[in-house]
Amino acid sequence: MTSLPDIHGVCPPRFAAVKDAFAANFTDAPEGLNEQGARVSVCVGGEVVVDLWAGWADTAKTVPYGETTLTPVFSAGKAVMALLIATCVERGLLDYEQPVASYWPAFGQAGKDAITVGQMMSHQAGLPGFDTAEDPAIWFDRAATLARLCAQAPMWAPGTGSGYSPIVIGYLAGELFRIVDGRTMGTALREDFPGLDLWIGLPEAEHGRVAQMRKPSRAVDLGVVDTIKAAAFLDRGSAPGGRGSVEWRTIELPSANLHGTAKDLARIMAVVADGGMLDGRTVLSPGVRAEMLRERIHGRDRVLPFDISWAAGLMRNEGLHIFGPNPTAAGHCGWGGSCAFADPDARVSGAYVMTRQSPHLIGDPRAVRLVEAVYGGM
């Protein structure tokens, strides 16, 4: 019988249920009990109260999963992307209600001239992916990717509904940020949030800290597949490919390749949960935080087979019930089960990262069980 990996970190008695749930995520694993690593971190009032990790960072079980291990969190990084866009709104560089094309004229081609920043961030722009097959290597050529997307017409009428964009939104938000701020998102993340072990574009010198992922044992369930869902997830060129993991980790793709620790994901999400503050510094004013979090569209998503209430880059908890009991909580899930969330009502933020991926598109049961345990200790 395989034994449970040692659990390291801190967890006060009031949150003992979180540690139990974390252990259960290992013991309930149908396979690979000791061939996985994971970490869960929780902040209350901006302070880290729970930080647990266990397992292995590699499938050969030679490198323990540790406090400095970096984990790819895939789309959970969209929560950080949304926050970076919000910092531009805070500084008056962007307005959620203004057309993207007013800042980036080339984007306004092919019927996209009226799409607002808020609509783009809430996946209403009609650009879930390329509308025809592409060479997967195009994603490594930023200029070619942006030119292709600017020239493309929306796949549905913008503003009439959401259609989740797994990859494209990172190029769009990243370029909009660069135009108005002058820096890339990766550079701004390092400069404006110093001390956080979060990376959009990971320098090769840090690659040795990255945990190895174990892919899901079965494909995700997208429901009935149509051209929109195929463009987002299934068509040739729907995701970067053909260049290897070194180039993938190194490019700046804020929608999909953030690497980091659960602790610092929870800490940066505390900006949203704890009055716009981080370590005593105001990052977002109450008005901008409210605009970031308010509902922009609600209904059946054209890509993900769920009814989703989208804020400006975050999934709102209303109707989903994956980020605790409060409908005003918001966050983002990542491919395979990672998540980052913030609850302004409870002043709670948290993150879960792991190496054993599941086929759940959102609301991985392991993450949900941990979040529920957190509120049991509040």
- Catalytically active residues are 75
Contact predicate 171/252, CB 8 Å: no
φ, ψ for residue 53, nearest 5 deg: -145, 160
DSSP H or E stretch at residue 250:
helix 245-250
Do the beta carbons of residue 81 and residue 334 sit within 8 Å? no
CA-based nearest residue to 115, from 136, 91, 134, 97? 97
List b or e across 302-326, with b for residues whose CB sees 16 or more CB atoms inside 10 angstroms: bbbbbebbbbbbbbbbbebebbbeb
Q: Which of 149, 163, 147 is nearest to 112 (CA)?
A: 149
- How many angstroms separate the first and last alpha carbons of the chain? 35
225 Ramachandran zone, left/alpha/beta (phi>0; psi -120 to 50):
beta
The SS3 assignment for 13 reads: helix
Vertex 259, ends 31 and 285: CA angle to 5°? 125
Contact criterion met (CB below 8 Å) for 245 and 202: no
